[in-house]
Chain A
Amino acid sequence: MKTKTHLFKYLAFAIGAAVFFTSCSDDEETIPDIPPSEGTELTLNGGVGGSAAQNIVFVDLSAAKQDSAKRESWDLGFYCGNDFRVILNSSKGAITALNTQETDINAVTPAKVDVNELALGLNYETYEFIGSFDLIDDTTGNLNNTAIDAISTGENPVYIVNTVGGATVDPANVWKVKISQSTNGYSVQYAKLDATNVQTIEIQKDSEYNFKHFSFTGGIVNVEPPKTEWDFSWGYTIYFTMLGTDPVPYNNSDFIKLNTLNGVQGAMVKETDIAYASFSEANISSISFSGNQNVIGANWRTVPSPTPGVEAGTKKDRYYVIKDVAGNIYKLKFNSFTAEDAGKRGYPELEYQLVKRG
């Protein structure tokens, strides 16, 4: 409740200040100093779908707001930074891409390629894992290690993309795509694998965003908020698990990724080291912030399991400290996420507090 009072106080102050400045300034408007949120409680809107909730949620701590987008609404993301990089929609699961070594998109036909090479997942009859990490982007978010190689200035190869991942591939879900550099952007040729009518779309980089998102069936779609307006995302994603002693790509729910491309950093703190309630500005020096996108990942909760003694719920022994791009430092803890801890799957509850203003 306390944080909410603070919120209202600052909001009232901000509105008052805005009114004051609007009414008194004669010529040019001065942008008021909007303080960052003191912290609040949020219930993330994952939408229906339970452990495979339909939304990906973007949280902006300093603005105390969340945005959500349908996670299956896009296929490819085009990087808006200096490099020319294309990512696959990891929130769709095992969506995969394979270099056909062919540069003529019309020459890529169902007869020329084996779509089964796009398969990724466990064969439940043989318990063998099909496919490899090469078919997906780096699970740590490293843009230098994407399934689709950097788009060069020269001739680029055609890729085939399975837009619905799994251990078996339905050719109806496979598209072919050839991406080239254009002036400040990308030129994309694409068609269904068995189609001949190749479409073309130009995608311009927009420096306000990390990525521009594209769907084979819907063209350009809005997914992420502007890059300065979110600190982390929550949702379903492909990650990895250990199958025996080998890591294999594996879908994870409730996975949190920091917006490290825009400089957000984070760290995990154990309650036994410093209690959440007493964590203050003085403790910040003891924290080593990490630029690892997955520093929170799925480590904040224990999923329900039939194994006796495994208590599902958010992990109460830890919380996180997040430093946004403006230098604001927040402490954040998760309160519920599943029926076992009186939460709702797909609608996790969290709370955070400003520790130090940037």
Chain B
Amino acid sequence: MVRLSAILTGMLFMTFTLKAQEDVHPKSTDSLNYGMLDEVVVTGQFGPRSVKNSVYRVRTISQQQIQLRASTTVENILNTQLGIRFTNDMALAETDIKLMNMSGQNIKVLVDGIPMLDRGSIRQSLSQIDVNTIERIEIVEGPMSVTYGSDALAGVINIITKSGGQQNLQVSARIQEETAGDEYSFMQKRGTHNGNAAITWQNQHWRATASGTQNNFGGFQGTGEGRAKEWAPKDQLLLSGALGYRNTKAGTNYRLSYLDEDIAKRGPLNTSNYKALDQNYITKRYNHSLQSDWQFSDQLNLSASASYQDYRRRTRSILRDFRNGTSELADGAGQQDLVKFNSVFFRGTVQYQFSDKLQFQPGIEINSQQGNGQRISGEPRISDYAFFVSSEWNPLLWLHLRPGLRFTKNSVYNAPPVIPSLNAKINFSNNWAIRAAYARGFRAPALRELYFTFFDSNHSIEGNTDLKAEYSHSFNAYLSWEPLTGHSILVNSTLGGFFNRFENLITISGKPDDPSINTYANIDHFKTAGITWENKLVWKDLDATFGFSYISREDDLSNTLSDVPSLVWQPEVNANIFYQIPKWGLGINAFYKLNGKLYDYIIDGNNQLFKAATEAYHTMDLSVNKVLIKHLTLVGGVRNLFDVTRIRNTSPGTGDAHGGAPGATAISYGRSFFLGINVQWSK
């Protein structure tokens, strides 16, 4: 902490020095301009459309919100959102997301509408996206399989990247230092260290951008023994560049992003033989994407996206012998491995405006994935071909209907041939609207679930090529009330409810005789249900959201045991508040969420039914922004104010494969402090 205060002082000194050299513009709040009154969304839409007019209920998180929170990870951006939770795999140092009580494999993660490639069912790709390139995050709950295909059961998280502004030339830079709990050292090793630099140039037709980000996390000792840290250090280098051309009728944009990630896990020292096993997980990704749209006439638009993604993850294990001062590459099964995945993706859609009241969007989608590695049998390729059509029909002024169908053909497994959906939006009045939907969702068995084989001393997992696709029937309805909309005030409130019934859910299950052998299996009859209540107030310089949700998930055991309720419920409360004082160039922000107690029924070793609980916990971040001089903003604050590290979990046998010690689920490395500087310059 001594060193933290040193850097704080240093940074303040530096900024004040800069301040003294330039004229002070107290009213320049460019970087904090924060208007949310006309949010535009694209996820699931035929074209950009205001949130209010969307047939889907779409939640958005803007770039400004991300900047005000000074987030350096997507996880941090999302962790105070209603219905979103994260689970940590401490052994692999990976994090998975849960949306509406469904794990990552049922969530579609998109970047500009293109699905991110993941090596397994965990949505690790979320942690491999450069936060500094995000313009906006759109979240749609409920199945979007008609438009987005497999995996879009629980919902879609669409990350929209920055696409330029008004200026010819923009340069931005960011440096941020953060403690990891009470561990910190200046600019290196302990703590989190982030830096970003980006440049964008554009003229009437052309636009070019380049961005580079370095994220270094020094790990956290926590409950780790000796040289082994509970939270493994992670270094990321993220580079991206884009080139685009646009005229009045058409636009094309190419984007390449690159990731180099190194997660370094040091093993505990065995004091009997003075040896330790160190492992590195080194990931490299190249994501190419090409997007085009053409406007042929007032009635006819065409858009197309194509992407090629290359993913490589190397596992390197080194056995260190401290007595002899030697190191050798460990040669056990899976201890040295290179896993390669690639995906080819194409989506083409035509938007045809038949009349004022009727629009059609037919489209095709091709998605082909290939993987290989020691743990994958062969070099399987799965190809998915889909044709989908949806239409927006406004038969009456107050009624919007959106029916859709998707036809899928898969090269490996029997995909559900037809997926329907029907969304409706009814405007009772200017202030009242209801959105209701029925949709079928599906999730294809992933490459890993079909072909993965991994037997070593640590894991026994085998893929199952007999898996069927998961599918769901989903119903949801949202009642929205928006009594006040004006220049300086907006109030709205939405009450929603949903019910999902999943069939053939794919899950890892231990073989009964030997829990160390796992395979994938289709488990029938699974459901979730819930209600959400979300409220928003924008008044002058205050922007606040407040929400409550009560979400349930079916317990497996309820099928066989009458003592187990069919649905196990969990409450959540959240609030995100932004308050600006423009004349001081100051912003104060608070982000809060209560993750309620989570119950789980298990049969213990004595064949007794046991109701296990994962304790409730609070997540809260506070941040303060101050525009120091025209182009320079200082941001500081605290994350995880309540210093949550591990929460009590009374179920020793449940949770994820590497959840950590029994009785505790690892949540975070504790209360952290951060301080950063943003420079934004444009002309």
Contacts and interface: CB of A to CB of B under 8 A. Distances in A.
Interface string B4-44: 00000000000000000000000000000000000000000
A50 B661 contact: no
A304 B516 contact: yes
Contacts of B395: none
Nearest to B660: A308
Given A51-B457, A306-B459, A333-B272, A339 B516 contact: no
A248 B457 CA distance: 22
A308 B332 contact: no
A217 interface: no
B332 A336 contact: no
A153 interface: no
B276 A307 contact: no
Contacts of A314: 272
A316 B269 CA distance: 14
Given A50-B456, A306-B518, A342 B269 contact: yes
Contacts of B276: 342
Nearest to A242: B513
B331 interface: yes
Contact of A339 (B272, B458, B515): B458
Pick from A122, A127, A343 the residue with the most CB of B within 10 Å.
A343
Given A303-B516, A307-B515, A343 B270 contact: yes
A263 B379 CA distance: 54
A121 to B, nearest CB: 10
A345 interface: yes
Contacts of A32: none
Nearest to A243: B513
A35 to B, nearest CB: 26
A280 B513 CA distance: 42
Interface string A275-312: 00000000000000000000000000001111111001
Contacts of A122: 511, 513
Contacts of B655: 308
Pick from B275, B657, B659 the residue with the most CB of A within 10 Å.
B275
A311 to B, nearest CB: 9
Contacts of B335: 339
Nearest to A122: B513
B658 interface: yes
Interface in B496-540: 510-516, 518
Given A305-B516, A349-B273, A344 B456 contact: no
Nearest to B278: A342
A110 B319 CA distance: 52
Interface in A320-345: 333, 335-336, 338-345
Interface string B446-464: 0000000000111100000
A244 B660 CA distance: 26
B305 interface: no
Given A335-B273, A342-B273, A124 B511 contact: yes
Interface in B261-309: 267-270, 272-273, 275-277
A339 B662 contact: no
B267 to A, nearest CB: 6
Contacts of B653: 307-308
Contact of B277 (A303, A333, A342): A342
A341 B658 CA distance: 16
A316 B272 CA distance: 9
Given A308-B652, A308-B658, A308-B659, A50 B332 contact: yes
Contacts of B456: 50-51, 339, 345
B272 A345 contact: no
A308 B661 contact: yes
A308 B656 CA distance: 8
Nearest to B320: A342
B457 A342 contact: no
A222 interface: no
Nearest to A129: B513
Nearest to B267: A342
Nearest to B649: A308
Contacts of B459: 304, 306
B562 to A, nearest CB: 22
Nearest to A337: B457
B490 interface: no
B662 A309 contact: yes
A308 B272 CA distance: 24
Interface in B322-363: 330-333, 335
Pick from B272, B514, B656 the residue with the most CB of A within 10 Å.
B272
Interface in A75-91: none
Nearest to B335: A339
B80 interface: no
Q: Tell me what chain A mostly uses at the interface: helix, strand, loop, or mixed.
A: mixed
A131 interface: no
A168 to B, nearest CB: 17
A110 B652 CA distance: 51
A330 B441 CA distance: 65
Interface string A89-125: 0000000000000000000000000000000001010
B317 interface: yes
Contacts of A309: 652, 660-663
B266 to A, nearest CB: 11
Nearest to A49: B333
A305 B515 contact: yes
Contacts of A313: 270
B658 A127 contact: no
Nearest to B460: A306
Interface string B639-683: 000000000000011011111111100000000000000000000
Contacts of B661: 308-309
A333 to B, nearest CB: 7
Contact of B515 (A124, A127, A244, A306): A306
A306 B455 CA distance: 12
A39 B317 CA distance: 32
A304 B660 contact: no
Contacts of B510: 306
Contact of B457 (A50, A129, A244, A335): A50
Contacts of A335: 270, 272-273
A107 to B, nearest CB: 38
Pick from A122, A127, A306, A312 the residue with the most CB of B within 10 Å.
A306
Contacts of A343: 270, 273, 275
Contacts of B515: 305-307
Contacts of A5: none
Nearest to A253: B457
Interface string A236-254: 0000010110001010000
B602 to A, nearest CB: 12
A336 B660 contact: no
Interface string A206-248: 0000000000000000000000000000000000010110001
B332 A344 contact: yes
A344 B513 contact: no
B551 to A, nearest CB: 24
Contacts of B269: 342
12 contacts: A305-B516, A306-B510, A306-B518, A306-B657, A312-B457, A312-B458, A338-B458, A339-B317, A339-B332, A342-B267, A349-B273, A351-B272
Given A309-B663, A336-B272, 6 more contacts: A243-B513, A308-B652, A308-B656, A308-B660, A312-B458, A342-B267
Interface of A: 50-51, 122, 124, 127, 129, 241, 243-244, 248, 250, 303-309, 312-314, 316, 333, 335-336, 338-345, 349, 351
Interface of B: 267-270, 272-273, 275-277, 317, 319-320, 330-333, 335, 456-459, 510-516, 518, 652-653, 655-663
Give 8 closest A-B pairs by Cβ, nearest first: A309-B662, A335-B272, A342-B275, A304-B458, A342-B270, A308-B659, A345-B457, A306-B657
